[in-house]
């Protein structure tokens, strides 16, 4: 068994939140940091941040959460605002750990959940790192390629390995980096019967979760780092501009030759960037 697998297994935990089992990893010591994953088929916290957790855990108490509907957390259908529901689950995990204030790193869906949490509980957020974050509005792209793949994954003939590969290829600038093992794990996770019955993606498409750009983002006082890949084909770069304009203390960092998975494709640079941003006085 690899060192990473040992770390993954030894840090696995569950919290009881509103009748749900929410799975998370609790790694390292220091200032607390939450990592929230994206919403693609088969997504989960550790797999999303496999190239970041060990690095961050040397400086932060790193909490890697599977939001409801993903990973090992409870699969549950909800009719209310999905981001509000997921942010509530994150709050429950933090309450169970006795953590009052924390910084967030959120990718895609996780970025939207992080932003929603900050709007709901601004006093509990130190700093925000939002990469390819959901909840904003692309100015020039009405239906990005990655979103088309997302919408069709559980439709038609249902999930398939070919559909998953087409979607994952959209997440990165260089698809040759994607291993067969990564695809296999994501595909197997996406076939969970509870997920197939109530896909989280379907819930997201029928909620106001993509409308955070309409919220009072000007009230957020936290320093916020927007991270985007220039070649992001799922939440394109132009979706960053409304957030950059409306969040008072927002900064934008753009990685060239990078898609939607900045934390994975540019791991070393990303890890250093985020650490400096969160720890700088």
Q: Which residues are catalytic?
A: 260
> What phi, psi does 23 have (nearest 5°)?
-90, 140
Cβ neighbours of residue 108 under 8 Å, at least 6 residues apart? 37, 38, 39, 40, 131, 132, 133, 134, 234, 235, 260
Indicate the SS3 state at residue 134. coil
| 275: exposed, middle or buried (Cβ count in 10 Å: 0-12, 13-18, 19+) | middle
Spatial separation of the C-alpha atoms in residues 101 and 103, rounded to whole Å: 7
Distance between CA atoms of 25 and 99, rounded to whole angstroms? 14
């Amino acid at each position: 068994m690899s060192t990473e697998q040992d770390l993954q297994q030894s840090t696995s935990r569950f919290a009881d939140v509103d009748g749900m089992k929410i799975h998370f990893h609790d790694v390292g010591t220091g200032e607390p940091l939450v990592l929230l994953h994206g919403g693609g088929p088969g997504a989960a916290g550790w797999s999303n941040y496999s190239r970041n957790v060990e690095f961050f855990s040397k400086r932060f108490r790193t909490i890697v959460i599977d939001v409801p509907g993903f990973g090992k957390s409870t699969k549950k259908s909800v009719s209310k605002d999905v981001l509000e529901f997921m942010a509530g689950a994150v709050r429950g995990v933090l309450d169970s750990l006795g953590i009052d204030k924390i910084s967030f790193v959120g990718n895609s869906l996780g970025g939207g959940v992080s932003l929603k949490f900050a709007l709901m509980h601004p006093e509990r957020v130190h700093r925000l790192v939002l990469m390819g974050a959901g909840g904003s509005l692309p100015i020039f792209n009405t239906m990005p390629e990655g979103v088309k793949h997302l919408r069709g994954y559980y439709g038609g003939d249902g999930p398939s390995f070919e559909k998953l590969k087409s979607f994952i290829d959209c997440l990165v600038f260089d698809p040759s980096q994607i291993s067969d093992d990564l695809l296999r794990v994501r595909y197997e996770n996406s076939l969970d019967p509870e997920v197939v019955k109530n896909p989280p993606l379907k819930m997201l498409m029928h909620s106001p979760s993509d409308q955070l750009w309409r919220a009072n983002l000007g009230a957020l006082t936290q320093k916020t780092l927007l991270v985007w890949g220039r070649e992001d084909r799922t939440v394109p770069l132009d979706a960053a501009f409304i957030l950059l304009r409306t969040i008072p203390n927002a900064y934008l960092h753009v990685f060239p030759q990078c898609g939607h998975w900045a934390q994975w494709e540019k791991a070393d640079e990303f890890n250093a960037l985020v650490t400096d941003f969160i720890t700088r006085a």
